[in-house]
Amino acid sequence: MSAEPAEKRAPRRSVPPNLSVLRRRTKMHVEFVDVDGVSLRVGTRRGRGRPMLLFNGIGANLDMTLPLINALDDVEVIVFDMPGAGESPALALPRRFRSLARLAAKLLDRLGYDEPLNVAGVSWGGALAQQFALDFPERTNRLVLAATSTGMLALPARSNVFKRLTTARRYQKNETLAHLAPALYGGLMRRRPDLLERQSRHPAGLSTRGYVNQLLAGVGWTSVHRLYRLRCPTLIMGGDDDPVMPLVNIRLLYWLIPKSYLHIVRGGGHLFLLVRANESAAVIKRFINERRYDGTDGQDYYAARNQPADGALKPLLAQDS
C-alpha cells in the first residue's frame, strides 16, 4: 500500500521587521562629547515628541538599554555611559549625585536640548534621576523611576545579595554573571538566565575604579526629605520578585512623591525593563502620553509647535504649494 502524499503545510508567516521589536535595529547615533573636561560616550536615538533622558543602572553601558529603546518605538531617547562604565573613561575622584546631575544638565546643553524633557532612571540611575528632577525642576517634564529607592533610608537587600551587587566581577566575566543572575536579579532570570546574554551586551571597558566611584556617589545620599518638592507627574515601577530592591522601597517612593503613579510588575525581577521590554515600554508610553491638561503631555508639546496631536506632519497639498 502506497502512502498518501503528506499534506503540504502553509509556510509560517514571518513578522514584518518593522513590527518586531526583536528584529528592529535601533538607529542610534553614538559619539563622544566633552563636558567640562569629562569625556562621555553618548547615544541619541532621534524620534518625535518630547525627548527622554535615560539614566542607566550601576556599571551598565548604553548598549544594555537597546531592548527598551527599541520597544519605545519613536520616542526620542538620550542615554550616556557614566564615567568608568562602558567606554566613558573613569574619573580620578568620585563625584556625588549632585555633581553628576549637573554634568547631565551640561551635556543636554551641549546637545542642544534646552526644553523640559521626560526623565527616566533605573536602579542606581533612578536615584540620579531623582537628584536631577529635584535640582533641575524646570528641565524635568515627567519622571519615570524603575527598581530604585530613596537611598540611605531605604530597606536594604539581604546581605548575600548586597555582597554580590557590590562586586564588579559580575560585569567583567560572562560566566560569573550567568551564575549570579538567577539569585541576584530574580524574575525571569531564575528560569532564563540566558536572556541577559541574548538581549544585552556586557559593559565593555568597565573599570573597577569607575564602579567604585559609582558606589561612592550614593554613600549617605537620601531623597526622603526632599521628595515632597517634586511637582512633576511621576511613574514608579517595581517588580514583586526583585531581590535587589524590595517592594517596600517602591511603595515608599509612591507615598512620598505627590503626583505619583504606581505600577507593580507581577513576577518582575530587577531587570524587568530589559527582559520584559515590550510590557515596560507600553506602561511608560501610556504614562508620558496621558492627557493631564497641565502642559506636560504630548498634545500640549505638539500644540505649542502648531503640529497635529500625534506629531505627524500633514502632507503638502497641491493647492498649498
Residue ranges of the domains in the chain?
25-305
Residue 315 has pLDDT above 60, yes or no: no
The architecture in CATH of the region 25-305 reads 3-Layer(aba) Sandwich (3.40)
- Alpha-carbon distance 188 to 321, whole Å? 55
Residue 22: what pLDDT? 41
Average pLDDT over residues 74-87: 93
Which one has a higher pLDDT value, 184 or 14?
184
160 phi/psi in degrees, rounded to 5: -70, -35
Q: Which residues partner with 145 through β-bridges? A: 121, 236
Query: Could you tell me which residues come within 8 angstroms of residue 86 by beta carbon, excluding any fewer than 6 positions away?
Result: 41, 60, 61, 62, 63, 203, 204, 205, 206
Per-residue pLDDT of 206-259, as tens digits, reads 678 888 899 899 899 999 999 999 999 999 999 998 888 889 999 999 999 999
Rounded to the nearest 10°, the torsion over CA 134, 281, 60, 213 is 10
Mean of all residue pLDDT scores within the chain: 81
Region 162-166 average pLDDT: 55
pLDDT value of residue 163: 54
34 has pLDDT over 50:
yes
24: pLDDT strictly greater than 70: no
| Predicted confidence (pLDDT) at residue 36 exceeds the cutoff of 90 | yes
Give the number of other Cβ atoms within 10 Å of residue 313's Cβ: 8
pLDDT at site 305: 76
Report how far Cα 71 is from the mean position of its chain's Cα atoms. Answer: 12
Least confident of 95-104, 193-202, 284-293: 193-202
Q: How confident is the model at residue 202 (pLDDT cuts 50, 70, 90)?
A: very low
CA distances from 307 to 27, 39, 69 (A): 24, 36, 24
Please give the Cα distance from 224 to 57 (Å, whole number): 20
Report residue 203's pLDDT band, with 50, 70 and 90 as the boundaries.
very low
- Is the pLDDT assigned to residue 174 strictly greater than 60? no
Q: What is the pLDDT of residue 6?
A: 47
Which of 14-18, 56-60, 174-178 shows the lowest per-residue confidence on average (mean pLDDT)? 14-18
Percent of the chain with pLDDT over 90: 53
Q: How confident is the model at residue 166 (pLDDT cuts 50, 70, 90)?
A: low
Distance, in Å, from the CA atom of 140 to the CA atom of 193, rounded to the nearest integer, reads 35
Give the model's pLDDT for residue 187: 66
Cell numbers at residue 170, please?
A: 559580575
321 is catalytic: no
- pLDDT for the residue 38: 96
Percentage of the residues of the chain whose pLDDT score is greater than 70: 73
Find the catalytic residue in 88, 123, 149, 260: 123
Q: Is the pLDDT of residue 25 over 60?
A: no
What is the C-alpha to C-alpha distance for residues 66 and 63, in angstroms, rounded to an integer? 6
pLDDT at 155 over 50: yes
Q: How far apart are CA 238 and CA 229, in angstroms?
A: 22
User: What is residue 16's predicted lDDT score, i.e. its pLDDT?
Assistant: 42
pLDDT tens string 53-65? 999 998 888 988 9
Residues 192-199, mean pLDDT to the nearest whole number: 62
Q: Are 137 and 232 in contact (CB under 8 A)?
A: yes
**Is the pLDDT score of 200 beyond 50?**
no
Convert the pLDDT of each residue in 117-139 to its tens digit: 999 999 999 999 999 999 999 99
